[in-house]
């Protein structure tokens, strides 16, 4: 049974609070009106900075799709967590998520106003936010995706792809690119430059010498770097990448 506290606020206005945050080492105060009035905003809220799902999936995917959200009329993507401003500032640096505003709700005022403040004392977290996302237009909540009330930390509906599917069904998403490489490899440098020139962001996985040959064999069935993957498909080395890019012009972000 769902706790009555965790009910959708669709159709209601967002809570009126002031947020204290740190940007570039300086203190700043912003109000709900500054963030939401006259603007279209996607918000996602999560239990805490530096926690596994939040750092590995929830925040990175919203950051990766931030430009797509902007292309479909969203002014800003905001991540809210009941953490202090220093923690959120350092988490932002660690995540390199410059396309998402990390908003510390240190006292839980906004989260409590949303009815999403939950007790995670069993994890020694104290009061934290339940995981959810919402689309806000001019302060009014149009749509909410609230995670089901289950044991643990469910992550089923508040993800970036679900929100984008609601906002813009069929929207084109930037491909997910990863490259297995090693430092000092000229062919790796050539492949990375080709990806940048084509407008692709990529994850660079620099393989340590101790595991390089085994990792290449296990992951790519190859013995040399670079090995490029796009949307889960093995493209191959720099020559194969060049051929792939010629066959797929204009797909870069």
* Residue 42, H or E segment: strand 40-45
Supply the Cα-derived Rg of the chain in whole angstroms.
21
Determine the straight-line distance between the first and last CA of the chain, rounded to whole angstroms. 42
CA 72 to the chain's CA centroid: 17
Let me know if 54 is a catalytic residue.
yes
And the tokens for 122? 């069993």
And the tokens for 17? 């609070």
Strand partners for 22: 27
Nearest-5° angle of CA 65, CA 120, CA 16? 60
What CA–CA distance (Å, rounded) separates 59 from 46?
A: 9
Give the CB-side neighbour count of residue 243, counting CA atoms within 13 A.
5
Closest CA to 46 of 95, 118, 96, 97: 118
Annotated catalytic residue, options 54, 79, 97, 188? 54
Closest CA to 100 of 110, 91, 109: 91
And the tokens for 103? 């908003």
- Catalytic machinery residues: 54
């Amino acid at each position: 049974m769902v706790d009555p506290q965790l009910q959708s606020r669709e159709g209601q206005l967002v809570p009126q609070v002031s947020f204290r945050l740190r940007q570039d080492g300086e203190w700043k105060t912003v109000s709900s009106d500054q963030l939401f009035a006259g603007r279209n905003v996607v918000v996602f809220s999560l239990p805490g900075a530096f926690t596994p799902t939040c750092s590995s999936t929830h925040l990175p995917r919203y950051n990766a799709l931030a430009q797509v959200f902007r292309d479909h009329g969203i002014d800003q993507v905001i991540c809210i967590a009941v953490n202090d401003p220093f923690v959120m500032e350092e988490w932002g640096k660690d995540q390199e998520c410059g396309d998402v505003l990390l908003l510390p709700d240190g006292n839980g005022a906004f989260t409590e106003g949303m009815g999403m403040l939950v007790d995670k004392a069993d994890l020694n977290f104290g009061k934290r936010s339940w995981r959810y996302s919402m689309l806000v237009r001019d302060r009014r909540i149009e749509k909410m995706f609230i995670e089901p009330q289950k044991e643990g930390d469910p992550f089923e509906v508040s993800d970036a792809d679900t929100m984008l599917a609601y906002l813009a069904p069929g929207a084109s998403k930037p491909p997910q690119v990863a490259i297995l490489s090693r430092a000092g490899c000229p062919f790796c440098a050539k492949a990375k430059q080709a990806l940048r020139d084509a407008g692709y962001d990529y994850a660079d996985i620099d393989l340590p010498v101790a595991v390089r040959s085994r990792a290449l064999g296990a992951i790519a069935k190859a013995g040399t770097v670079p090995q490029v993957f796009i949307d889960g498909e093995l493209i191959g080395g720099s020559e194969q990448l060049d051929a792939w890019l010629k066959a797929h012009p204009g797909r870069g972000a």
